[in-house]
Structure 1
Amino acid sequence: MQPRNMSMSGAVDLSAVKAAAEAKEKAERARAQRAAQPGGQQAAGAAQLVIDVDEAGFEREVLQRSAEVPVVIDFWAEWCEPCKQLGPLLERLAQEYAGGFVLAKVDVDRNQMLFQQFGVQGIPAVFAVIAGQALPLFQGAAPEAQIRQVLDQLIQAAEQRFGIAGARVEPGQAQPGEQGPPEPPEDPVLAAAHAALDAGDLGGAVQAYRNVLDGDPQNAEARLGLAQAELLGRVQGVDAQRARKDAADRPDDAAAQLVVADLDLVGGHVEDAFGRLVDTVRRCAGEEREQARLRLLELFEVVGPEDPRVTAARGALARVLF
């Protein structure tokens, strides 16, 4: 197996999968009832890093989840001897990577539509889904070192291209509904950053949030605060009427479009801001295209990864890029 370049080329069209999932709502409800029983799927695995997926639950458990974390799909069958070697290895790596990706296991005997939709030629076969876009990773059992290399590339591509960093968890993290340990006191540096932002001290807030991220790069609260502070700083003193005229007069000027996208977001016009930046990525090339892409990822941070408008914009960005 050769580690793949995470270019997202050859992405699988998942529209038929989505349509089939909607048509199987009854089967999905039955599956959810089975999973909720004692010892069922909902109780398995720390923070649900390994899940069993069928056609009915594919949209929710894979497509929607892929907007927040890379999803690795393991196509397997009970009669497949190589599957019995690869499956436990992937499950162990899912726990070790602690939220860097989610492993979705698909039994091909029970989910023929998914097997055919992905064009699987033989099993075991491993695919990934990022921001609703699927790509093949490898087929057959492979050495652990090579699998790690592929996973590392996948996680890096998801974060750099789409701003999807997953949700890191600690081993043995409490399941939903369980009583966990008391929350630690708030970081005083983070508290100071919040106070500066509330007081309108945008420069102080930016620096304080950066100080937090220097020590904890995955701190979601600090990343959100920094994105908000930087956004507000960029629109301070901007003549909105003139900025909008400049953007209308120069549709291929990336800098002009970025200013108006910021104004749209601050004004609550989220979809307009996202659409403008996706269109700018499509129109531009080189450094300007990269600036528009990065600004779009920054605005995703402000709105929040779970917002359906972010999910839709991630898909639009993927279609423009690949």
Structure 2
Amino acid sequence: MSIVDPRSGAPLTPPQDTPSPSQEAAPGDEQLIIDVDRNNIQQLLEFSMQVPVLLDCWAPWCQPCKALMPILEKLTREYRGTFILAKLNIEENQEIAAQLGVRSVPDVKLISQGGLVDHFQGALPEKEIREWLARYFPAPEDAPASPEEQAAEALAQGDATTAREIYEQLVQQSPENYPFQVELARALVAEGRSEEAIALLDNLPPEERDAASARGVRASIEFREEAPSDDGLAALAGRDDSEANYQRALRQVADGDYAAGLEGLLEVMRKDRSYGDDAARKTLLRVFDALGADHPLTVTYRRRLFTLLY
């Protein structure tokens, strides 16, 4: 095995009397992604004297580990030899895990010059991992947009078909990365294929099925069913009563324009609290649940709702 030194471009060759690390990666990645165990842990530390090592401590039973690993592998390829990724199965290497102080997984450790530089725990989103890596490494030049970034951009631009096709590929490549399945469901909804989206969400594990992101997709389906059609919206033109304003706000929420929809619902509530048996407030709470408690719009409009009520 050889690993490329990012400074000189020259290969780094392990000592001849040391076993080479096992390799389990896509073609062309064997210089960057390795498996580590008791047979090559010492060699890994020797490599870290020349090239930093990202040590991913994982376990077969850990679902977050399975979601995180494809992200780490992708970033390792993107950084093109700035560091290598070593994967440690703690179930098969409990003694090493204990020596490294691994208490929960996933646990990702940055090792350089034979010592621990930093670590993070949990399946962080890709954006946060990039920010973490940026503390120690320059960003890779001309890095292409990731498939999930391309899909999100396509969906934002109204190209639901392209987004759905990309997410289908991502799900096929990483079937246990459940956020990809949720986003695939979101793209299906945007294509008008709500029944397929619901079936996909129903097959998720309970903890994923009940998470905020999945609830948000379900809520978008419900809002689409409740919101007026284009013809119904046109029939409301020129009207400024509570019913018309509520229906417009509902349509904005269904279309994903949450800020405008929340503003409209709050205005209906301010002018006519009794409308529809307090429908505006109830719908506001549903949107908060769909967006998640930490979403900036939830935080802002929950505060405004509280002020209006009290």
TM superposition score normalised by structure 2: 0.36
Q: Which has the higher helix share?
A: 1
Structure scoring higher RCO (CA < 8 A, sep ≥ 6) equals: 1
TM superposition score normalised by structure 1: 0.35
